[in-house]
Amino acid sequence: MLIIEVLTLFPGYFVSPLKTGILKKAIDKGLINVDIVDIRRFTANRHKSADDYPFGGGVGMLMKPEPIFRAIRNSKLGGTKPRVILMSPQGKRFSQKEAKRFAGFKKLAVICGRYEGVDERVSEKLVDEEISIGDYILSGGEAAALVLIEAVIRFVPGVVGKDESVSTDTFSYKFLKYPQYTRPGSYLGMEVPDVLTSGDHKKIAEWRRRESIRRTVERRPDIIDPDDLTEEEKRIIEGLKVR
């Protein structure tokens, strides 16, 4: 079982997502456990304040270190030391590769930043790594934490019905996923490619491979690693450029 603890100032943010879709199913099956930890529980003042003004001046507030340190220490008492992740716009860019790596840990502790961020001592002494889900700013790390959690749990055995679904996902493979179609075969004058209804599995596989490469060349050429291409893939890409 993968145990995930989410440290947040807004625990209510996670109520609905944890009762919906793949997250709910994984929890119900006992494949993962997600514990939402209210950071304010670990404050030492009667007002439960978990933020304060930054030294040196400046706009906004910073999350205080003491309650976060206490929350993480409380987590360690539960047995396995967690891998501590801080959701931060200054962190390493999250990817499918990182999601798979995180799924290999027994326990994750995900800290959701708010306001102008967290006291630097949290990053220096508690956090194993900072993670960003993209180059934009959110009001807090809660939405980013949900993105990370859903991506990670897909690699936990049994969460996704077929392991093949995970291995062929976009970004799990070196190219984007090929175009897909379902019934009806004809809609508003748009037809499903004949090869997909031919019953010829070899031709279907070849078409999907070619279309996967074409889509990547057109939409995300930045993710293509020339050193990771087979000779056949190089020929397909050259053929696309000629056209």
Catalytic residue ranges: 89, 116, 154, 169
Strand partners, 4: 34, 108
d(CA 216, CA 23): 29
Non-local CB neighbours of 216 within 8 Å, separated by 6+ positions? 175, 176, 223, 224
Which residue from 91, 49, 89 is spatially nearest to 66, judged by alpha carbons? 49
